[in-house]
């Protein structure tokens, strides 16, 4: 086993060095396509590179021959001129063209491929990605094919050899599609772990799946109606399956475009079936109280960007809230490593009225995950 580990380690070192050397050679001799560059002027200084992201508050820019990202507030940008062509989605429209200017720190001037000029409000942009004419990679083709959809897949593993052999996997999946006032979100979290010892055969220590599908209708700038279906099972806690549909109203408090909170209130119905016939099924009408939020910091020393996000949902029984309730929360600390890769520390807390006395009402898990963003 140790010889195989040494082989894998040597292969990893060799592969990393080869990739780094290849990247270095490419930077020394850029291709004709790599010489194409966007230009922005910030405080009188002209910068060359490529626009990576247009967010409501800042423009993310990769300098020529650099792997890192720089973030500039629009008030600091004096002019923008792109040689690359971009696919821009806004106000139910999709256009392709070059950015030729910025007005009042609020609007982009765009020349479409048919030479028609448009003025696009930055706050209305749902998606801003390079056109396939300038980047025909598989990843970029997918982003152009589904411009209103984004998400991430995060995976963590744990393999432990000792007096107790532990093998676990955690998969966290997020998907979001937003077009105009319509928004869909899908959240899935799956955890599985087995354990065994010299005297105990392999058994399931964790087997849990959580899924939440949410639709929001943003009928006003900061207000929305929502419909949600939450479903889960937890074999170790004797929960065979649970379904919680709910309807309600929500409001977004925008402290800035990178810092917001969304409280929600509504009504739901919780239906829980337990494993076997030892415990009776439990069904009750419940209130639906929720809170979600996000806090993003850019230009952080050493790590560049740091993101905190999460949610909590509380379903208290309307008839007997002291005896029947379901509470679930998730908190994430994320550091993007590259455009598509990130590392995430995810913390989950569950509290419900479980009938099994040896299980208890609450459960906390913490996992370190590596994510692929798309």
3-state secondary structure of 321: coil
- The whole model's pTM is what? 0.78
**CA–CA gap between residue 194 and residue 217 (Å, rounded):** 42
Q: What's residue 35's pLDDT?
A: 59
Contacts of 136 (CB under 8 A, 6+ apart): none
Q: Report the chain's C-alpha Rg in angstroms.
A: 25
Choice among 13-22, 88-97, 224-233 with the minimum mean pLDDT: 13-22
pLDDT tens across 89-122, in order?
Answer: 888 889 999 999 999 989 999 999 888 999 999 9
Q: What's residue 317's pLDDT?
A: 96
More confident residue, 357 or 50: 50
Distance of CA 318 to the CA centre of its chain: 33
- Per the DSSP assignment, residues forming a β-bridge with 183 are 178, 216
**Is residue 1 scored above 50 in pLDDT?**
no
H helices of the chain, in order, are: 2-28, 138-145
Q: Which domains are delineated in the chain?
A: 38-144 (no CATH), 149-373 (2.40.230.20)
Q: How confident is the model at residue 136 (pLDDT cuts 50, 70, 90)?
A: confident
Q: Please give the average per-residue pLDDT across 133-155, as a whole number.
A: 87
Q: What's residue 374's pLDDT?
A: 81
Q: What's residue 36's pLDDT?
A: 62
**CA–CA gap between residue 155 and residue 133 (Å, rounded):** 33
Average pLDDT over the chain, rounded to whole?
86
Cα dihedral value 304, 308, 309, 315, nearest 10:
170
Q: What's residue 25's pLDDT?
A: 39
**CA–CA gap between residue 311 and residue 348 (Å, rounded):** 10
**CA–CA gap between residue 247 and residue 231 (Å, rounded):** 15
Query: Any idea how long the chain is?
Result: 374
State both tokens at 46.
């002209």
**CA–CA gap between residue 55 and residue 225 (Å, rounded):** 24
How many other CB atoms are there within 10 angstroms of residue 216's CB atom? Answer: 20
Q: What's residue 137's pLDDT?
A: 85
Q: What's residue 176's pLDDT?
A: 94
Contacts of 12 (CB under 8 A, 6+ apart): none
**Is residue 151 scored above 60 in pLDDT?**
yes
**CA–CA gap between residue 289 and residue 15 (Å, rounded):** 50
Vertex 293: Cα angle to 322 and 126 (nearest 5):
140
Q: Please give the average per-residue pLDDT across 250-277, as a whole number.
A: 92
Choice among 186-190, 239-243, 337-341 with the minimum mean pLDDT: 337-341
More confident residue, 225 or 238: 225
């Amino acid at each position: 086993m140790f010889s195989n580990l040494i082989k894998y380690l040597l292969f990893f070192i060799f592969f990393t060095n080869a990739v780094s050397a290849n990247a270095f050679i490419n930077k020394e001799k850029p291709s004709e396509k790599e010489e194409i560059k966007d230009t922005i002027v910030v405080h009188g200084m002209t910068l060359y590179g490529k626009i990576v992201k247009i967010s409501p508050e800042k423009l993310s820019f990769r300098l020529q021959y650099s792997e890192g990202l720089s973030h500039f507030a629009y008030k600091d940008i004096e002019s923008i001129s792109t040689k690359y062509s971009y696919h821009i989605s806004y106000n139910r429209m999709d256009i392709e063209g070059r950015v030729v200017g910025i007005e009042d720190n609020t609007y982009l001037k765009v020349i479409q491929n048919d030479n028609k000029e448009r003025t696009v409000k930055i706050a209305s942009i749902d998606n801003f990605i390079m056109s396939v004419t300038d980047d025909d990679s598989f990843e970029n083709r997918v982003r152009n094919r589904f411009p209103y959809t984004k998400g991430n897949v995060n995976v963590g593993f744990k393999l432990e050899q000792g007096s107790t052999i532990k093998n676990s996997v955690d998969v966290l999946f997020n998907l979001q599609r937003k077009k105009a006032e319509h928004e869909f979100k899908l959240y899935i979290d799956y955890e599985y772990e087995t354990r065994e010892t010299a005297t105990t055969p392999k058994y399931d220590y964790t087997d849990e799946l959580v899924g939440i599908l949410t639709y929001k209708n943003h009928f006003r700038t900061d207000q929305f109606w929502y419909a949600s279906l939450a479903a889960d099972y937890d074999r170790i806690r004797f929960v065979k399956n649970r379904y919680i549909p709910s309807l309600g109203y929500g409001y977004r408090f925008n402290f800035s475009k990178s810092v917001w909170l969304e409280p929600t209130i509504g009504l739901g119905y919780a239906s829980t079936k337990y494993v076997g016939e030892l415990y009776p099924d439990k069904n009750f009408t419940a209130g639906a109280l929720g809170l979600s939020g996000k806090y993003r910091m850019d230009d952080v020393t050493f790590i560049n960007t740091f993101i905190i996000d999460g949610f909590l949902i509380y379903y208290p029984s309307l008839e007997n809230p002291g005896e029947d309730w379901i509470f679930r929360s998730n908190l994430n600390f994320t550091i993007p490593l590259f455009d598509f890769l990130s590392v995430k520390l995810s913390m989950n807390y569950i509290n419900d009225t479980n009938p099994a006395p040896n299980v208890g009402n609450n459960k906390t898990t913490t996992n370190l995950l590596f994510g692929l963003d798309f």
